[in-house]
């Protein structure tokens, strides 16, 4: 049917153009989804009144699940689903939160297998935070030593990042290593701004100031 050389050439050209149009569109889809989750999280975590946080995180968790399903095989939406679930658990509290932090951990471990370096090593930053703050055995999997190991991995991948420095400093303060904690918290405070993450950076810097004041007190 397509024995004419010119026809074959035109078909190949059309197929190539179609592929070039589709591939960037797909790449843009997951990054747009992640950006929406990031801004939604910052709004829910830092700006939403306390009595509205659970409803806000409930909707965000549903949005994150949809983003994961829409972008199968991408680690980035999985990481953000885990971050949202762990924050949801924090504000929910009680035994009902334990299932959410376990789901968050499992999602991060699955994301690690896909791409451990995604989002500047956020898998390890988030795992470190989870292990640092989760209750210990027998209630849950909390473990300060594992938290430290994960956060040190995160710092290897993103040594100047605001989040790994903050969470590591916070952990060191909890472990009564105040001098070292101050060093990492100050590094977090002077971390470079993240393009498009101004809302999260502002909230995080307020947390860093509070952590530094707590050490001084």
Per-residue pLDDT of the chain (217 residues; tens, 9 = 90+): 445 555 545 444 444 444 444 444 444 589 999 999 999 999 999 999 999 999 999 999 999 999 999 999 999 999 999 999 999 999 999 888 999 999 999 999 999 999 999 999 999 999 999 999 999 999 999 999 999 999 999 999 999 999 999 999 999 999 999 999 999 999 999 999 999 999 999 999 999 999 999 998 6
Residue 81, domain member (yes or no): yes
Residue 145, domain member (yes or no): no
Please report, for residues 79, 152, 161, 182, 185, the alpha-carbon distance to residue 211 in angstroms, rounded to integers and kept in the order given: 25, 19, 17, 9, 8
Q: Are residues 118 and 166 in the same domain?
A: no
Please state, in angstroms and rounded to a whole number, the distance separating the CA atoms of residues 29 and 18: 17
Region of 4 please: left (phi>0), alpha (psi -120 to 50) or beta: beta
Please state, in angstroms and rounded to a whole number, the distance separating the CA atoms of residues 155 and 157: 5
Residue span of the structural domain in which 188 resides = 159-216
Q: Which of 210, 163, 212 is nearest to 191 (CA)?
A: 163
Q: Are residues 61 and 113 in the same domain?
A: yes
Residue 149, domain member (yes or no): no
Q: How many domains does the chain have?
A: 2
Residue 105, domain member (yes or no): yes
Last residue of a domain, one of 81, 104, 137: 137
Last residue of a domain, one of 102, 137, 172: 137
Angle in degrees, CA 122, 126, 130, rounded to 5: 170
Residue 91, domain member (yes or no): yes
Helix axis angle, 53-70 to 75-92, nearest 10°: 160
Residue 18, domain member (yes or no): no
Residue 142, domain member (yes or no): no
């Amino acid at each position: 049917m397509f024995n004419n050389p010119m026809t074959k050439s035109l078909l190949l050209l059309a197929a190539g153009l179609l592929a070039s149009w589709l591939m960037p569109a797909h790449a843009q889809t997951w990054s747009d989804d992640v950006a929406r989750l990031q801004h939604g999280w910052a709004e829910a975590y830092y700006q939403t009144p306390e009595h509205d946080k659970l409803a806000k995180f409930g909707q965000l968790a549903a949005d994150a699940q949809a983003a994961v399903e829409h972008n199968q095989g991408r680690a980035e939406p999985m990481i953000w689903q885990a971050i949202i679930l762990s924050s949801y658990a924090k504000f929910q509290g009680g035994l009902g939160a334990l299932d959410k932090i376990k789901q968050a951990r499992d999602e991060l471990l699955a994301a690690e297998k896909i791409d451990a370096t995604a989002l500047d090593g956020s898998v390890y930053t988030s795992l470190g935070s989870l292990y640092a703050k989760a209750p210990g055995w027998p209630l849950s999997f909390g473990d300060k030593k594992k938290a430290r190991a994960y956060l040190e991995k995160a710092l290897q991948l993103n040594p100047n990042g605001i989040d790994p420095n903050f969470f590591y400093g916070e952990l060191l303060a909890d472990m009564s290593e105040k001098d070292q904690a101050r060093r990492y918290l100050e590094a977090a405070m002077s971390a470079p701004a993240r393009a498009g993450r101004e809302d999260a950076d502002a909230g995080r810097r307020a947390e860093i100031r509070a952590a530094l004041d707590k050490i001084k007190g």
